[in-house]
Amino acid sequence: MMIKKLNNMISRKSMILIAFVSITAYVIANSFSNKTYMPIKIEQIGNSTSVQQKKDSITSVKAYMKVHAVLQHPRCMNCHPSGDIPLQGEDSHLHAMLPKRGVDGKGLYAMKCNSCHQPTNTPGLHTPPGNPNWHLPPADMKMVFQGKSPSELAKQLLNPATNNHKNHEQLIEHVSHDKLVIGGWNPGEGRELPPGTHKEFVENFKTWLATGAYIPSEKIKADKK
Amino acid sequence: MRKQQLFTYYIITKVSFVNNNYYMITLKVNEKAYEIDASIDMPLLWALRDLVGLTGTKFGCGVAQCGACTVHLDGEAVRSCVTKVERAVGKNITTIEGLSLDNDHPLQKAWLEFDVPQCGYCQSGQIMSAAVLLRENPSPTDQDIDDAMAGNICRCGTYPRIRAAIHQAAKTLKNK
């Protein structure tokens, strides 16, 4: 009789213990999981898009780091060089023929971007990729990505004085619909794609801004390939 | 006989249907209109050389890397080997044959004066690029010339004479 009671008590205690351990493990696992993004609530007000979400520095910086990985990819960075000559290839070497930015970002004299870059991709391996409005950022707003740390680039993107006078809504509009941005995922034969899809890039960009547009610490370095 | 004719018509209709990218296209080249039957995807270079019959523009690399095929579209230099005919429709196309009426463009004169060409293959592209440079910058420095001409490759290495001839043409244009 006594042994039966003791057995019952032990099994009840162990059940409670197992339940407690399971709940704790679930909570811990969830807090470390990468799936911490909350859905963003976007409200269309007239022509502007208002993005509302609770401020959350961890979610914000995590999302930004994914954005940063895209912006530092050759498909994006090659046209945001630190000098006045665009870059080329997966190793981001200087563009063959050394075309220059020019005042409006569209090249100089007989070396304008659309002298070779057509409105659509030219067929064939490593032939000039196409876009109807191929250009670098203009000379008075160079928007350099090359060599920028996550912190430096995030600050640059958020500052209208260095991001071509864009507010958050305009930044989202730009990354969502600009044909050159979208063209990064259709770069022509023989070129790598940026990490993730364009849709994921836009979602991460929105999450970064919506959760407070936090700037990563100076100590955070971008992931290397 | 009638059956044969019908069969021929059938084949022609079939071919036209299959090649539905082919159109009668009007190209305005050197101030003159040319009607050509071409695919809109055809490189402008082939339309100019094979269909219009202007062979001054040369095929070099075929992938916009050498500049030998440079022509003007509404005054802007383009590499005709990668430019589709579709892009040129409705625009003023200028080839080396149309740069001047009597080969008397200051650049052409300077090219003769400095005896620039060696084999000559790249030179029509060189002159077409230089013409855009001088239109936008009538007094180019050496650096300006390098910036404008870096996309035109010369296997004979006539670059010093090209530079000298451009400076000479700039002087001629200034004194006009």
Instruction: Enumerate residues 6+ apart whose C-beta is below 8 A from A172.
Output: A49, A51, A202, A205, A206, A209
Q: Establish if A43 belongs to a structural domain.
A: no
What's B84's DSSP letter? B
d(CA A183, CA A185): 5
Q: Report ipTM for this prediction.
A: 0.86
Q: Check: pTM over 0.95? Answer yes or no.
A: no
**Which of A104, A112, A115, A125 has the most B C-beta neighbours within 10 Å, making it the best mutation to test the interface with B?**
A115
Contacts of residue B87 in chain A, CB cutoff 8 Å?
118-119
Can you read off the two tokens belonging to residue B127?
Answer: 């002159």
Q: Count of A–B CB contacts within 8 Å?
A: 68
Give chain A's domain count.
1
Residue A180: closest CA among A135, A139, A138: A135
Nearest to B132 among A97, A109, A124 (CB): A109
B70-73 and A93-94 beta bridge pairing: unpaired
- The class level of CATH for B106-175 reads mainly alpha
Q: Establish if A131 belongs to a structural domain.
A: yes
Can you read off the two tokens belonging to residue B90?
Answer: 């409705």
Partner-chain contact B65 A109, CB within 8 Å = no
Fold of B24-98: Ubiquitin-like (UB roll) (3.10.20)
Q: Establish if A47 belongs to a structural domain.
A: no
Q: Where are the beta strands (DSSP E) in chain B?
A: 22-29, 32-39, 70-73, 76-79, 92-94
d(CA A163, CA A215): 15
Q: Is the pLDDT of residue A38 over 60?
A: no
Kindly report, residue by residue over B80-138, the tens digit of the pLDDT.
999 999 999 999 999 999 999 999 999 999 999 999 999 999 999 999 999 999 999 99
CB atoms within 10 A of CB A137: 17
Q: Establish if A86 belongs to a structural domain.
A: yes
Helix then strand count (H, E) for chain B reads 7, 5
The domain spans of chain B are 24-98, 106-175
Kindly report, residue by residue over A124-181, the tens digit of the pLDDT.
999 999 999 999 999 999 999 999 999 999 999 999 999 999 999 999 999 999 999 9
CB atoms within 10 A of CB A6: 10
Residue A59: closest CA among A209, A188, A162: A209
d(CA A172, CA A181): 11
Q: Establish if A41 belongs to a structural domain.
A: no
Contacts of residue A111 in chain B, CB cutoff 8 Å?
77, 129, 147-148, 150-151
Q: Convert A179-189 to b/e letters by CB count within 10 Å (16 or more is b).
A: eebebbebbbe
- Per the structure, the complete domain to which residue A64 belongs is given by 53-210
Can you read off the two tokens belonging to residue B118?
Answer: 């060696």
Residues in a beta bridge with B24: B37
- Shortest CA gap A75–chain B (Å): 20
Partner-chain contact A108 B148, CB within 8 Å = yes
Q: Establish if A44 belongs to a structural domain.
A: no
d(CA B153, CA B38): 30
pLDDT bin (cut points 50, 70, 90) of residue A51 is: low
